[in-house]
Amino acid sequence: MQQLASDSFTRANGSLGANWTDFLSAGSVPPQIVGNQVEPSSTGFSDAMYYGGIDWPSDQYSQAQIIALGSGAKMGPSVRVTSVSEYIGIVETLGAGNATVEIELELNGTFSTLISTSTATVLPGDYIQISAQGTTLTMNNVTRSTTLLTITDSTLAAGYPGIHLNPAGGTPSSTVMSNWSGGSMTSAPLSVSTLASDNFNRANTANLGPNWSVGSGYDFLQIVNNQMEWSSSPSDNIALEYYTALTFPSDQWSQAQVTVVTGDENGPVLRYQQSSSGASYYFYDIQQAGLAGTAYVKFYSYVNGEASLIFYDNTYAALSSSDNIRAQAQGCLISLIDVTTGVLLDSYCDTSSSALSGGSPGWSIQQWGNGVSAATNWSGGTFGQ
């Protein structure tokens, strides 16, 4: 195993901070730091957090020290976490030979117990680990060098390591963990490799130029003052162009500096492909910049010209105007990252029958208001070890 990240939470009381992203569960409130430890929020139901900052391999582990467990509470480390899914190594009760532990799957707010036992040994202060290697899930008590549970499950293919805390009937301060770490079971994290870039530092034009193609049925993007903006003579309310000067692999990323957001939809496109049935692509929409609770991001899947809103977040994401925003596709895992701050904003593993697996990166601006939305300094690429 290779440790890739760790967090001792030895900092001021409050949120877990920029490296952590909240699981988008209805009614949840992110866990908090209190006294250099993590506990469920004092203001409501807590759920999962996952750790970003690097591009994690899918074969991964997550572990944390279980300090105390309130009556009725459940908590433990998680792997392959996205905004709507996770595998959890749950500790439900502590004890010597009578602790209850489980490996659970949470998918779109629904929990399924994959395997459990009520004869485990887990005591206060033990380090509990869950790992994913291919389809094999393993839960270990690292402190006591014992395997608690193992099972195979193929539901979740990718995601990030993290933690899960649910106080249930217990008070938040009686359910506490600390000293989290996570890493790879097989390989180093992926690094980004730039294949193409465009800073638009050329004369104003009605389109982005010969390296770009306009999505069929969509408007041109135009260059104005070294930025790309919505078309000056629109026929629709969506402008989209994708980069065609080279062929991109399916695992790809697209990013640009979002300079102006005026309530319209401005963001990166991934895996754009055209067929006689219509365009198919993934689109991340940055509709509003600002602090958490003000910023607004959405994720869409377009398949043969038909749009599906996968999820949205106007509660936890925070980004500033002029930040560099990157969307990336790695197998089923589609993520949105604020490159300027290094914050993973959200992620989703698309395992649907209509999942997209190829095409080109690009950019789209959908004009709903009367203002001007703009972005500049675009680049796109792939990943490597």
Phi, psi of 174 (to 5 degrees): -100, 5
Instruction: Determine the Cα–Cα distance for residues 241 and 276; give it in Å rounded to an integer.
Output: 18
Q: Which of the pair, 249 or 232, is modelled with greater confidence?
A: 249
Backbone angles phi, psi at 369, to 5 degrees: -105, -160
Q: Which two tokens stand for residue 180?
A: 């989290």
Q: What pLDDT is recorded for position 136?
A: 97
Q: What is the mean pLDDT of the chain?
A: 91
Q: Which region, left, alpha or beta, applies to residue 359 given φ > 0 means left and ψ of -120 to 50 means alpha?
A: left
Stretch 92-119: mean pLDDT, rounded? 95
Q: What's at 380, amino acid-wise?
A: G
Give pLDDT, residue 128: 98
- The arrangement of secondary structure in 2-184, i.e. its CATH architecture, is Sandwich (2.60)
Average pLDDT over residues 170-178: 82
Work out the average pLDDT over 167-190.
86
Q: What is the pLDDT of residues 275-307, one digit of tens each?
A: 888 899 999 999 888 888 888 899 999 999 899
pLDDT of residue 370: 57
Helix (H, G, I), strand (E, B) or coil at 173: helix
Is pTM beyond 0.75? Reply is: yes
Please tell me the CATH superfamily of domain 191-384, with its number: Exo-inulinase; domain 1 (2.60.120.560)
The strands making up 212-214's β-sheet, listed across from edge to edge, are 212-214, 238-243, 360-366, 265-275, 278-288, 296-303, 306-313
* Proportion of the chain above pLDDT 70, given as a percent: 96
Give the per-residue pLDDT at 170.
Answer: 61
Query: Which two three-digit tokens encode residue 356?
Result: 């997209």
**Residue 168 CB coordination number (10 Å):** 14
Q: What is the distance between the alpha carbons of residues 105 and 97, in angstroms, rounded to a whole number?
A: 24
d(CA 31, CA 260): 32
Model pLDDT, residue 100: 97
Lowest mean pLDDT among 140-154, 243-257, 369-383: 369-383
Using the predicted structure, report yes or no on whether residue 369 has a pLDDT greater than 70.
no
> Which pLDDT does position 102 carry in this prediction?
98
pLDDT at 42 exceeding the cut of 90: no
Q: With bands split at pLDDT 50, 70 and 90, how would you rate the model's confidence at 77? A: very high
The pLDDT tens digits of the residues spanning 323-354 come to 999 999 999 999 999 999 888 998 999 989 99
Name the more confident of 44 and 10. 10
Answer whether residue 263 shows pLDDT above 80.
no
Instruction: For residues 251 and 175, give the distance between their C-alpha atoms in angstroms, rounded to a whole number.
Output: 39
Residue type present at position 210: P
First to last CA, the chain: 16
Of 9-13, 312-316, 321-325, the least confident: 312-316
pLDDT of 32 > 60? The answer is yes
Q: Beta-carbon neighbour count of residue 351 at 10 Å?
A: 14
CA–chain centroid gap for 340, Å, is 16
The half-sphere exposure of 6 on its side-chain side, counting CA atoms within 13 A, is 9
215: left (phi over 0), alpha (psi -120 to 50) or beta: beta
Rg (CA), the chain: 22
**Structure-block tokens of residue 124:** 């206060």
Residue of 88, 64, 92, 68 lying closest to 176 (CA atoms) = 68
Residue type, 371: G
According to CATH, where is 2.60.120.560 located in the chain?
2-184, 191-384
